[in-house]
Each structure stands twice: as C-alpha cells, then as structure tokens.
Structure 1
Amino acid sequence: MTQATIYHNPRCSKSRQTLALLEEKGCDITIVEYLKTAPDADEIKQLMKQLGLADPREMMRTKEAEYKEQQLASVAGDDLIAAMATTPKLIERPIVIIGGKAVFGRPPENILSLL
C-alpha cells in the first residue's frame, strides 16, 4: 500500500478532492491539518526541497489578506519561511508527499505523478 502524507485544510475544496483521490487510489494516508499543527521553519524547508522549490514565495498563497497585512511582498528567503511558520494560512494547499517527493494538489490530479 502506498504511504502518503497530505498537508490538508478540510475547509478547502481542492484539499478535500485531493484527499478523496488518495483514498480512491487506496493509499495509507497520514493527514496533517497544518492550520492546527503548523510546520516549523525546518519542516517548511524540507517541504520546499521535496517540492523542488528554490523560492519560498512559490509555496505561498500570495492573495491571502495576511500576505498583504504582513507586507511580505518586500521580504525574501528565511523571512518568508518564518511567516509561513507563524501564519500557516499562507502555505499553499494541499501538499501531498509520497516516496520522499511532493506536489501541490492543485489540481488534485497532480498527485497522480507520484503514484
């Protein structure tokens, strides 16, 4: 059985659809509700590596009000990672990890490349 971890927000339709697709494919799923249990800076850096991202901004929801309120357009690097760790709502969702690699579940079918 394929082991999968999903960084999940149950209020997000794409996140729910991605979780349903993992269930449909018979995966053994670990669900991380990242808004309740926020990843720390090291976890975010590991996720970036698994996603193949060099710039933390690629992992951020830049249209969230918190992004503008915290004036994150003018910062970079570790400051963006720190912002995601303290305000997990800024993290793009969902993120699925299978076999040490990760993808965003937007659209949910993106996860099929990991299966």
Structure 2
Amino acid sequence: NKYFEAVIAEDKNKNEAIGFATYYFGYSGYCGRILYLDDIYIKPAYRLKRYGTAVFKYMAKVTIDENARRMECSVMDDPSLNTKTIEFYKKFNSIDDHGKHLYLHGEVLKKCAEF
C-alpha cells in the first residue's frame, strides 16, 4: 500500500539528483480521481533553469496518464515565503482557490502536460 510516490529530477551530464517531486492520489466527490502534488524541490544552483517547469509539466502528464481528472497543490499561507511559488504555479494558468489552493484540470491540464 503506497502512501506517496516521488520522481527524481537529475542532471544526466553529472549523474546527479537535482530535485524531486512528491505526490499521491486521492478522490474528490466533485470530480473523481485527483493527483495531489505535495512538493517540488529543485536545488538552488539549478533554479531558474526550467527544471522546475519540466518537473511540473511531467506531473501534469502523470495526472493524465493515471486517469486523474485534476492536479492540485497548496502553498503555505505566508506570502513572504511563497510569492515566487505562487507566481510559478500561476504561469501554468492554475486556478487559485482562495490564495492557498491551486489546481489544473481539463484543457489547461492537457496543455501543461505537453512538452
């Protein structure tokens, strides 16, 4: 019985792990199966180089491949810590549900999953 899953981002030239994403599947009575993206982390030296974008887009693809209808994520309720994180999620046209809870579904999710 799995509680969560993870993907590792790596720099293949250096054979080095540079980040990860953790996630799990849940169910919503409103829309069905969902993928909850718990965390994305990229090492500071690799940030702003599109690795986070690649991981996020990959997670959108996993959402679709696993027949989930929506990908959700949350951010901490502290704008001083999460301004960049919220901006990152919003660039994918995620829907902001009261400032802390963001999600993608439908055509927005499909577009995000395209590489």
- Pair in the same fold by TM > 0.5: no
TM-score between both structures, scaled by the size of structure 1: 0.27
Instruction: Tell me which protein shows more strand as a share of its residues.
Output: 2
Higher helix content, 1 or 2? 1
TM-score under structure 2 normalisation? 0.27
